[in-house]
């Protein structure tokens, strides 16, 4: 009788542990689902709930079009983008080193913009109100180049 009682106790403890583990997993899944990544356009609270991804350059809730360039692996991704007049472009530094977003051909700043990007998520935003092609580069890593082509 004593061994049966002990088996029941062990079985009960195992069942309780599994139940608690299930609750812990459920809490973890819920917490992860609620965390928003500010650099991911799909995580915005006003995101399209139809399952369609946001298109770069589309107007946000406040009517301003936006586009994002990620800085990672010592590169601008995407390096070359096309946007409409009035679009705000945001560069987000996902690297562990500092960068800049400097206007002009590599090594030849033209003075239009020169924004520092500290490592680990710093960002810089620039609104393009005139049509044209605007070259830019990282002044710290001159092999990092890109362009913004503004139409409209």
Average pLDDT over residues 63-82: 92
Report the percent of the chain where pLDDT is more than 70: 58
Tell me which residue has tokens 């960068």.
99
d(CA 96, CA 135): 24
For residue 90, give Cα distances in angstroms to 21, 31, 39.
Answer: 41, 28, 9
In the structure encoding, which two tokens stand for residue 105, read together?
A: 């051909």
pLDDT tens digits for range 135-150: 999 999 999 999 999 9
State the pLDDT confidence band at 62, using cuts at 50, 70 and 90: low
Residue 44's contacts (CB-CB under 8 Å, 6 or more residues apart) are 36, 54
């Amino acid at each position: 009788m004593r061994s049966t009682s002990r088996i029941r106790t062990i079985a009960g403890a195992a069942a309780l542990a599994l139940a608690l583990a299930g609750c812990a997993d459920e809490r973890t899944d819920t917490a992860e689902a609620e965390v928003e990544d500010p650099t991911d356009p799909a995580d915005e609270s006003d995101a399209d709930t139809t399952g369609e991804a946001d298109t770069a350059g589309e107007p946000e809730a406040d009517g301003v079009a936006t586009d994002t360039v990620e800085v990672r692996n010592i590169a601008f991704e995407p390096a070359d983008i096309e946007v409409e007049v009035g679009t705000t472009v945001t560069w987000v530094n996902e690297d562990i080193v500092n960068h800049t977003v400097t206007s002009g051909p590599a090594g030849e700043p033209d003075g239009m913009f020169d924004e520092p990007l500290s490592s680990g998520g710093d960002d810089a935003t620039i609104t393009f109100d005139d049509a044209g092609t605007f070259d830019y580069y990282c002044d710290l890593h001159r092999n990092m180049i890109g362009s913004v082509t503004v139409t409209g």
